[in-house]
Amino acid sequence: MRRRTPPPPSPLPQRDGIDAVRVRLPGEGAWATVREHLVERLGPARAGIVDGLLEAGLVVGADGRAVAPDAAYVPGMFVWYHRDVPPEVPVPFPLEIVHRDEHIVVVDKPHFLATTPRGSHVTESALARLRRELDIPALGAAHRLDRLTAGLVLFTVRPEERGAYQSLFRDRRVRKVYEAVAPYDPELVLPRTVRSRIVKERGVLAAYEVAGEPNAVSRVELVEHGARGLGRYRLLPATGQTHQLRVHMNALGVPILGDPLYPEVAAPVPAGDFRRPLQLLARELEFTDPLTGTELRLRSGRVLEAWTSYDGWAAAPSAGAAQ
């Protein structure tokens, strides 16, 4: 099997912890110029943006030289540019470092902070923040947490070592423990293992269950129940489907508090609304470091406010809140 040649390194430095966009021109196509391809790729509505970048010399080739506005299309050529990122509302919660060594950084991510740049959350992502704060431009994420979920996330220091840590998650060699606050149902028999097939369509906010071979497995345990008809749950996912724990808790009839998607998709909240966070926390990560052989068991120090101080969490209405 022929090995794929890695792309050349970016000639542009990061900006605010964000890598430049890399585009490889396809091997086949009817474009006469680099501009024509970029306009088709980004959409005709962004033709003015493409022209502005080219005219300002902000699109460069592998040698770092500016690509001329009328540069001929060359199949297989790489070009880079920085996209214009609109100002983002800062997420006003800190990232806590739980473990750091020469290979990895494990952080305790707050609610509302994306793990990696995506959509409208770019500079306000854990990856971009850590690159800036720790001055580690090559830092990369080994896995992801939903933006609305808080807790432990593992990042790698060296790109060439990322695959070793990503394989831990891919091969299910990481023991993950989550905690959630949800309604208490005395008739729900727990603990139990939930198995189902979950589908997440691109462009559709909520995932859903369908008939078929299970691809999502979660163990659900009730830790305790208390006032206001709430329970504190311990969740152990054996697989990693998108929104898996949220879907399974909803299917059991006990949707997680603060969930804007399950059981129903709520209207979007304004940027900067950080009230009533989803009461889901990635509490523990346990694994054997693939490079050092060290056994690591890491734990989040965060608390789920709906359990410790429901009145504070529920002080103002927000998406997905239980009434």
Active-site annotation, residues: 146
* Bond into 191 cis (ω within 30): yes
113, burial (CB in 10 Å: exposed 0-12, middle 13-18, buried 19+): buried
How far apart CA 170 and CA 219 sit, in angstroms, is: 19
Can you spell out the DSSP letters for 254-275? Answer: -PPTT-SSSSSPPPPPPTT---
Q: Extract the tokens encoding 143.
A: 């896995």
Find where tokens 């807790």 sit.
151
Q: Which parts of 168-228 are beta strand (E)?
A: 175-183, 192-199, 208-210, 216-225
Read off the tokens for 196.
């189902």
Helices and strands per DSSP (H, E), number in the chain: 7, 13
Q: Could you tell me if residue 320 is left (phi over 0), alpha (psi between -120 and 50 degrees) or otherwise beta?
A: left
For residue 283, with 0-12 CB atoms within 10 Å meaning exposed, 13-18 middle and 19 or more buried, which class applies?
buried
Q: Which residues contact 267 (CB under 8 A, 6 or more apart)?
A: 319
By the 8 A CB rule, do 274 and 316 touch? no
Angle formed by the axes of helices 47-55 and 34-42, to 10°?
A: 140
Length of the chain: 323
Is residue 17 left, alpha or beta, with left meaning phi > 0 and alpha meaning psi from -120 to 50? left
